[in-house]
């Protein structure tokens, strides 16, 4: 598929991104670059200096709402992307309301309780929708531990092992890998599997 | 019985068991677990009453922090 055709398809699509931290901000950037038509962003937090080691914000955006700062950054990359922002702490009814019109939903929360909340909401109220989750990306190194797997419409990206801890902080490389893996999974859902790509491993 | 647990075939001596017993056998003690049996999400309150038997496809997802 040519990039012209890819853009043509993607511009008609809407992707919901729940959380605009390390996963959400980087995933949104990748999707805006390839031309997804509409992104629906939600996060209640402000940009802090400590976020800049992995999240797609700039030093001069410290103190801004993350959704506002991210919208600004996405427009600088692709002025054609449409962005809807919600600066709220999502509850189950918000998730259903905000994301029910999306073609795919990306889970990009940091807290396990929130990850469960969206999984439960999508499973029970939007069972026809794909949910792409990020689970396990703290620390550095161990490239080959990072992977993805699928169960029906649920796709999990990450190592599923490394939680955040004082001695195991989230850092740009691994967080960015998982965020882009989520964006890559979104493309496969929206565009289908690329027939012109080699899918077997070299032996 | 043989089940598929997290995409891998695993064999257990029992003919069947419930989710609580499966988690105990695998020593999965983490609090935030998501369990799917043959694609169906199993709530925590249903762990003791949900039976896993030969041929079932079970997903145990540890919802760890980070995002």
Domains located in chain B, CATH noted: 2-62 (3.10.20.30)
Which residue in chain A is spatially nearest to B6 when comparing CA positions? A149
- Report how many domains make up chain A: 1
Which residue in chain A is spatially nearest to B37 when comparing CA positions? A151
Greatest Cα pair distance in chain A:
50
Average confidence score pLDDT of chain A: 97
- Residue B67, token pair as written in the block: 């995002």
Is residue A201 in a domain?
Answer: no
Nearest chain B CA: its distance from A82 CA (Å): 24
Contacts of B57 in chain A (CB under 8 A): 151
pLDDT of residue B62: 96
Query: Which ranges in A79-136 belong to alpha helices (H)?
Result: 92-99, 112-125
- Residue A132, token pair as written in the block: 């792409």
Is residue A199 in a domain?
Answer: no
**What is the tally of helices (H) and strands (E) in chain A?**
6, 7
Q: What is the CATH number of the domain that holds A110?
A: 3.40.50.720
Count of A-B CB contacts under 8 Å = 70
Is residue A196 in a domain?
Answer: no
**ipTM score of the complex?**
0.89
Indicate if the pLDDT at residue A195 is higher than 90: no
Closest CA to A163 of B67, B35, B52: B67
A185 and A179 in contact (C-beta within 8 Å)? no
Does B8 touch chain A if contact means CB atoms closer than 8 Å? no
Query: CB-CB: which of A108, A151, A160 is closest to B39?
Result: A151
Indicate if the pLDDT at residue A101 is higher than 80: yes
User: Per-residue pLDDT tens for A16-71?
Assistant: 999 999 999 999 999 999 999 999 999 999 999 999 999 999 999 999 999 999 99
Is residue A197 in a domain?
Answer: no
Domain that holds residue A27: 3-191
């Amino acid at each position: 598929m040519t990039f012209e055709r890819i853009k043509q398809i993607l511009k008609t699509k809407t992707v919901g991104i729940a959380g605009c931290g390390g996963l959400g901000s980087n995933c949104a950037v990748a999707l805006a670059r390839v031309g997804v038509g509409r992104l629906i962003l939600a996060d209640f937090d402000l940009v802090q200096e400590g976020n800049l080691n992995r999240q797609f914000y700039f030093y001069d955006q410290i103190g801004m709402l993350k959704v506002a700062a991210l919208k600004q950054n996405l427009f600088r990359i692709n002025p054609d992307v449409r962005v809807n922002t919600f600066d709220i702490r999502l509850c189950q009814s918000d998730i259903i309301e905000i994301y029910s019109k999306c073609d795919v939903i990306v889970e990009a929360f940091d807290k396990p309780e929130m990850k469960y909340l969206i999984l439960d909401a999508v499973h029970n109220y939007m069972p026809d929708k794909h949910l792409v989750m990020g689970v396990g990306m703290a620390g550095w190194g161990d490239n080959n531990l990072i992977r993805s797997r699928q169960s029906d419409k649920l796709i999990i990206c990450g190592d599923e092992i490394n939680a955040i801890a004082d001695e195991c902080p989230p850092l740009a490389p691994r967080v960015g890998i998982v965020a882009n893996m989520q964006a890559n999974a979104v493309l496969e859902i929206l565009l289908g599997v690329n027939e012109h790509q080699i899918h077997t491993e070299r032996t | 019985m043989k089940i598929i647990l997290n995409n891998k075939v695993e064999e257990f001596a029992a003919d069947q068991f419930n989710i609580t017993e499966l988690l105990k056998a695998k020593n999965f003690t983490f609090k935030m677990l998501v369990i799917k049996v043959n694609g169906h999400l199993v709530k925590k309150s249903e762990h003791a009453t949900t039976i896993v038997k030969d041929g079932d496809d079970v997903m145990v997802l540890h919802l760890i922090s980070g995002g």
